[in-house]
Amino acid sequence: MGMRSDTPLKYPKKSHRKTVRIPRPSQSLAEFFGIMLGDGGINNLWQANITMNSVEDAEYALYVQKLIENLFGILPPVRKRKGRNAVVISAASTTLVDFLVEKGLPRGNKLKNGVCIPDWVLEKCSYRVACVRGLMDTDGCLFIHSHRTGGKRYENIGLCFTSYSPKMLGQVAGVFEEFGIMPHIGSQGRSIYLYRADAVAKYLKVFSTSI
């Protein structure tokens, strides 16, 4: 499968049209799309990048690297950013980027270009679950929720997912509700919270985690 652009490449002497495997829709591809929607970006014609914390996400970065290899047949490098606690996984291939854009990933600024979960993912329950797992593994976090009931202070584990895209936030909330997990939208409309320990436990049972 080859999709070409008439726009000249920045480095025309480099071979960006390398051979890659074009996968069919699957749970693994849906999870990868969730990861890209969270920590990924496409800023040119030939490269998809995923940026992660080099300390907290060291093992997860290797998982994502292997996921890309299994899906597309290429092993992307994981490079440490100089002077920063960050690593970048760079999948360099014009064919791969064309495929990702065709399947619904925006090129350039994700927010300005209407980032959201693509229709092909939303059409199948197992794909929705896998995509949300990828989103939560990248843009979600666990926290300690403190609250008072009957004058007593209690603490339990909570979960938070943050996105500046109202549409994607609504999509994730809708997937949670499918499984009886009631999300709470923050006052600024940028985060989903699960405050109850049993809601977090149900999330982990249904969606699990690849971290």
What SS3 state is found at 119? helix
- Comparing 82 with 71, which gets the higher pLDDT? 71
* CATH number of the domain that residue 198 is part of: 3.10.28.10
Question: Does residue 193 lie in a domain region?
Answer: yes
CA distance 107 to 123: 23
What does the block give as tokens for 48? 């998809």
Question: Are 139 and 68 part of one and the same domain?
Answer: no
Q: What does the pLDDT look like over 85-106, one tens digit per residue? A: 899 999 999 999 999 999 999 9
DSSP-derived secondary structure letter, 17 = -
The percent of the chain in helix, strand and coil, each rounded to the nearest 5, is: 40, 20, 40
Chain mean pLDDT for the chain = 88
164-190 pLDDT tens trace: 999 999 999 999 999 999 999 886 888
Same domain, 110 and 157: no
Specify the pLDDT at position 11: 45
Average pLDDT (109-126) is 93
Banded pLDDT at 2 (limits 50, 70, 90): very low
- Mean pLDDT over 124-138 rounds to 97
Take residue 120 and report the two structure tokens written for it.
Answer: 């092909």
* Alpha carbon 172 to its chain's center: 12
Q: What is the pLDDT of residue 73?
A: 96
Assess whether 109 and 143 both reside in one domain.
no
pLDDT at 15 over 60: no
d(CA 38, CA 161): 10
Flag whether 185 is in a domain: yes
- Among the candidates 68, 85, 116, a domain finishes at 116
d(CA 47, CA 90): 7
The partner residues of 193 in beta bridges, in order of sequence, read: 160, 184
pLDDT-derived band at 127, boundaries 50, 70, 90: very high
- How many domains is the chain built from? 2
Whether 33 and 103 map to the same domain: the answer is: yes
Instruction: Give me the DSSP letters along 122-142.
Output: HTSHHHHHHHHHHHHHHHEEE
Which structural domain range is residue 183 located in?
Answer: 135-207
* One domain for residues 48 and 91: yes
Based on the fold, state whether residues 69 and 35 are members of the same structural domain.
yes
Using the structure block, give the residue that is written with the tokens 């593994």: 137
| Strand pairing class (191-194; 152-162) | antiparallel
DSSP-derived letter for residue 66 is H
